[in-house]
Each structure stands twice: as structure tokens, then as C-alpha cells.
Structure 1
Amino acid sequence: MEPHTPRTLVIMPAWNEEDAIGATIRELRRIVPDHDLLVVNDGSWDGTAKVARAAGALVLDLPYNLGVGGAMRAGYKFARRFGYEQAIQVDADGQHDPRDIERVLHGLQSSNISIGARFAEAGTYRARGPRRWAMIMLASIVGRLSRTRLTDVTSGFRAADRVAIEQYCRYYPAEYLGDTIDSLVIAVRSGLTVSQVGVSMRPRQAGTPSNNPWKAAVYLLRSMFALFISLTRRPVPAPPSPAEDSSSKETR
């Protein structure tokens, strides 16, 4: 009997990524052809949606820009509605190497959420100054909450199993950094488990990186605020696991 292969949805939030998204989709389709790909077009005013469809992706058009959090929440609701067993977020600009997708998904064998970490002995990604300080502190605090050694809790390269998908549909913030920090903290405080695997990061395939000292300092302040807000929110009750849900139905 062949092992069961979970239905997997790759969710790619995109806002004005016309120049990069075509090549990103074609590379991803070549490397992981068995996974479905959903591009959530987050109110782009350029040709992002047209290029994505031409490259072979499913496209969900949002009427206006909601930010990464809003786009991912829409993607997770799509995953739940169409019965996907796991989902993984991948950037549209090509920074996430699609060859790492299976490694991140493999982490779901031991946890509900698997993070592709940039500081876990893989790749050459480096952050400096205030941005690096914020990442270290955030990883330390969230790691203690989850009782797991974490090094990169702001990574958007992360996967979710069916329980985590349901959790994200119940609560997934749209605020700045809420999609990474707040969503993770609430999930952990609600009883979900998290793990990480090392991944490599690549330069943007198009556009200009946003790193500079001023933005790094702003990032530090905003990340601290996002963490404070997430720690003061009430945990959202975790959904039952598929096994628990099935057993409860059998007893009715």
C-alpha cells in the first residue's frame, strides 16, 4: 500500500510583483509540480495577476490591498474550503528557494507549524544592527513560549498542517508583522506546536531591497510592539485535530 501524500497548497501573496512573479512561478512549478499553487493578488495595480495566470498559477484577486496578513488569511480560507491537508507560504519575489519547500513541509510530521529559518545553519543570509537585535530577542521569547529552540520567528517561509490552517482561519492578523509574530504567538498559546528547519535565502529577482538603517530601527520598534500586542491578546481555542474530530463524529 502506497503512503498517503497530503494535498498541499502553496500560497503566494503578491502585491505589484509583475517583474518577478512569472519566473518565480515557473521555477516553482518545475521543482514541485505535484503541489497546487495559489497566487493571492493583493490589490495590485500592475500586471501581477495576468503574469501569474499566464505562468500557470491559480489566482485569487482581492479587491484592494490588505497587506500580507490579509492576503494569507484569504489563502488559508481557500485551503480550508477546498480540503487541503497542508499549506505553505512562499514569497513572490523569488527569495524563497523552492528546493526548500519539501524540507519545510517535512517539519509538519512533528509539529503543526514548520518555519523555514534563515539562521539555522543553512544559507548565507545575514541581518545586522537593530533588525538583527529584534530577530534574536523575538526568537528567544517565542522560543520559550513554544518550548522549542527557534532562531527566526519573522520568516514568512512557513508551513501549516490542517489544524494550523483551521487556527489561522479563526485568527490571522493583518497588522504589520502580525502575520509572522502575532499569528505564531497566538497559535502557540492556543496549544499548537512549532518546529523549524534551516533554509537558504536568495536576493530578490526584481525590485529593490528595503533594508537601510532607518527602516531597520523602525522594524525594531514595530516588532516589539507586535510582540507586546500578541502577548496581551486572549488565546484563541485551538481547533480539534482531524483524528479527534473524526472520533467525536463516530460517537454521536
Structure 2
Amino acid sequence: MDRIAVLVPCWNEVLTIEKVVKDFKRVLPEAVIYVYDNNSTDGTAELAIRAGAVVRHEYRQGKGNVIRSMFRDIDADCYVMVDGDDTYSAENARDMVNLVLEGKADMVIGDRLSSTYFEENKRPFHNSGNVLVRRFINMFWGENACEIKDVMTGYRALSPMFVKTFPILSKGFEIETEMTIHALDKNLLLANVPVTYRDRPKGSVSKLHTFRDGIKVLKTIFMLYKDYRPLRFFSITALLLAFISLILFIPVFHEYMVTGLVPKMPTLVTSGFFMMAALVSFGIGLVLDTEVKNARKNLEIQMNMIRILLRKS
């Protein structure tokens, strides 16, 4: 088992990967630097080896797929996850690692938004997108989400407890959002460390598509809200359906009270169907909420077992 493992997912980062590896070897000399090459065609893997990294390959395209393999393959007391584009400074890594090794955090977030991100990032829709995602998570996950300063940062330090209990479902750039929501939902220890962010060097191209990947991230938030908070999700759906039902029913009921007749029978029937759908939706929420609570109980048992194994090792 490694003391510290630095995980660097890479796809065509030939301009920056050598510097990233050397910077982290300098700041964390005891760490093992793992570069997972995701079908690069520009010599990224060869440069990473020359710089002293352990290079492995993930042939399923997508950052989520890469991180899934990293988390499965590597055992360490602390994991540092960082992008290979040299936008994050290695100088902050020691502070982040110490929080994990001292047991003060299961996930340390490298917070770009509190430092240089808005000045350095040249893509304005990325700036507004980060703020929008953070606001959605604050709205859905309540007071705990206020601990999160930067939802979509690719710079994090992670404990083995987080890494070995995190079920990765995303295949692409939604992975950071999924990690953040998992930590919030499972009440794991969180910490923020402001980190220096710099824009990509000239000639280096971002793989993130602003609108396409942004829509995927927002979809991930809503789907995880349904999965992790089903009673709230389906209760909101039930309220909306019940509201529509009442809007349709009230005029029919008023006319019946005045004339004693129900001339708009189709409207009355439609209203009844909407109310039945509302009751079904609420019932689904109750059933799924029970399943989610049972899953949380099982996860707590699993986390206790992992903690025992870590102490033995």
C-alpha cells in the first residue's frame, strides 16, 4: 500500500504532463505518481514515464471511466486527484494531504473559486456554469452543501474510506459533481483548501465542452437527487400533480354547486387521473425512501469494516 498516491487522468496532455509529474514529485517526494492514459495519441504516456510516473492505460474513453479504474486498482493512505493540464498548483498538495492523513477530512476540495479562477479562466460560460451548479447543490442538499466552495474542481485529496465506498456511475466529466454529492449525502468529513488556478498554456486545449458537458452535469444533479432523496423528489412531483388536479377540479365543482350538473365530465375524469398519479408518486417516494435508508445502513456497516481493515494494515 502506498502512503500517498497522486492520480493523474490524462488524454492528450503532452504539453503539460511532464511538468505536472515533476511538480508533484518535488512537493510530495514520498508519493507515487500514477498517470492513467486515456487513449492519448500525442505521446503523453511516454513523457510521463520519462518524468518518473507510473503509467497505466484505461481504454474506455471518459474521465469517469479512468477514475473508476484508479480507485479500484490503487491502495493508499491518501489519494490526490489532479488533472494533467497544469492548471492546478502542486504547492497546495501538502496542506490537502495533511488534512486527510490526520483524519480531519475524507475529501479535501481544492477550491479554485475562492482564489484565481475567475481571473484566469478565459471561458466565461465555465465561470457562470460553476456558480450555477454550486447553487443547485446548495438548494437540493441544504445546509451541508454550504461546506462546498467548488463543486467541479478536479483537484482533491481523498481518504481510503471515501475511495473504497464511492460507487462511480458517471463515465465523463460529471464525475466531480457525483463525488461531491456522494460526500454530502453520506455525511463524510469535508474540507476546503483555496488553491491557485491558472489557465491552460498556449496550445493546450480543454476537453470539456461547455454546453454539452454542462447539460450532463445538471442532469446528474437531478438524477442523484432522485436517487438519494426520493421522498422529497416524488413528494414535489406529487404536489405538482395534485395542484394540476385541483386546478381542473375546482371549476367543475363550482359549476356543480351552482347548477347541480357536471357538463365537463372529461375535465372531471382528467382531474381524477392527476390526483391518482399524485398519490402513486407519493407512495413511490415512501417505498424508495425506505430502500435508500436501508442502503445507508449497509454503507455504514461497510465503512466500519473498511475502518477495521485499515487499522489492521
Task: Output the TM-score relative to the length of structure 1.
Answer: 0.80
Pair 1:94–1:241, CA change in 2 (3 A): farther
Amino acid at match of 2:192: Q
Q: More deviation in 182-191 or 156-165?
A: 182-191
Supply the distance in 2 between the matched residues of 1:247 and 1:91 (Cα, whole angstroms).
27
Supply the distance in 2 between the matched residues of 1:143 and 1:116 (Cα, whole angstroms).
18
Give unpaired runs (5+ residues) of structure 1: 1-5
User: Shift in Å at residue 8 of structure 1?
Assistant: 0.8
The one of 219, 222, 225 equivalent to 1:231 is: 225
Supply the distance in 2 between the matched residues of 1:79 and 1:12 (Cα, whole angstroms).
12
Q: More deviation in 131-140 or 45-54?
A: 131-140
Pair 1:48–1:240, CA change in 2 (3 A): same
Q: More deviation in 101-110 or 152-161?
A: 101-110
SS at match of 1:240: helix
Q: Is the 8 A contact 2:27 2:90 kept in 1?
A: yes
Aligned to 2:257: none
Pair 1:143–1:53, CA change in 2 (3 A): same
**More RCO (CA 8 Å, sep 6+):** 1
Aligned to 1:73: 68
Q: Is the 8 A contact 2:107 2:158 kept in 1?
A: yes
Aligned length: 235
Supply the distance in 2 between the matched residues of 1:142 and 1:17 (Cα, whole angstroms).
31
Task: Output the TM-score relative to the length of structure 2.
Answer: 0.66
Alignment root-mean-square deviation, CA: 2.9
Aligned to 2:158: 160
User: Shift in Å at residue 51 of structure 1?
Assistant: 1.1
Amino acid at match of 1:233: D
Supply the distance in 2 between the matched residues of 1:247 and 1:71 (Cα, whole angstroms).
24
Superposed CA deviations along residues 63-103 of structure 1, whole A, max 9, x for unmatched, are x24211111111112223xxx11101111111111101112
The one of 80, 83, 86 equivalent to 2:78 is: 86
Q: Is the 8 A contact 1:9 1:88 kept in 2?
A: yes
Aligned to 2:254: none
User: Shift in Å at residue 206 of structure 1?
Assistant: 5.4
Supply the distance in 2 between the matched residues of 1:248 and 1:37 (Cα, whole angstroms).
24
Q: Is the 8 A contact 1:8 1:36 kept in 2?
A: yes
Pair 1:143–1:103, CA change in 2 (3 A): farther
Aligned to 1:106: 98
Supply the distance in 1 between the matched residues of 2:117 and 2:129 (Cα, whole angstroms).
19
Superposed CA deviations along residues 12-64 of structure 1, whole A, max 9, x for unmatched, are 001111222112212221222111110011122231111111111011122x2
Supply the distance in 1 between the matched residues of 2:146 and 2:13 (Cα, whole angstroms).
35
Amino acid at match of 2:45: A
Supply the distance in 2 between the matched residues of 1:65 and 1:248 (Cα, whole angstroms).
34
Supply the distance in 2 between the matched residues of 1:201 and 1:60 (Cα, whole angstroms).
27
Q: Is the 8 A contact 2:82 2:155 kept in 1?
A: yes
Amino acid at match of 2:90: P
Is 1:134 equivalent to 2:129 in the alignment?
yes
Superposed CA deviations along residues 229-249 of structure 1, whole A, max 9, x for unmatched, are 221235663541578525999
The one of 110, 116, 135 equivalent to 1:123 is: 116
Pair 1:206–1:189, CA change in 2 (3 A): same
Q: Is the 8 A contact 1:136 1:151 kept in 2?
A: no
Q: Is the 8 A contact 1:105 1:159 kept in 2?
A: yes
Aligned to 1:150: 148
Give unpaired runs (5+ residues) of structure 2: 229-291
Is 1:221 equivalent to 2:215 in the alignment?
yes
Residues 164-203 of structure 1 mapped to structure 2, 5 A cutoff: 164-168=162-166, 171-203=167-199
Supply the distance in 2 between the matched residues of 1:247 and 1:23 (Cα, whole angstroms).
33
Q: Is the 8 A contact 2:77 2:159 kept in 1?
A: yes
Aligned to 1:96: 88
Q: Is the 8 A contact 1:140 1:151 kept in 2?
A: no
SS at match of 2:105: coil
Superposed CA deviations along residues 176-197 of structure 1, whole A, max 9, x for unmatched, are 3321012221232233232211
Supply the distance in 1 between the matched residues of 2:163 and 2:48 (Cα, whole angstroms).
24
Amino acid at match of 1:163: M
Pair 1:44–1:244, CA change in 2 (3 A): closer
Structure with more of its chain in helix, by fraction:
2
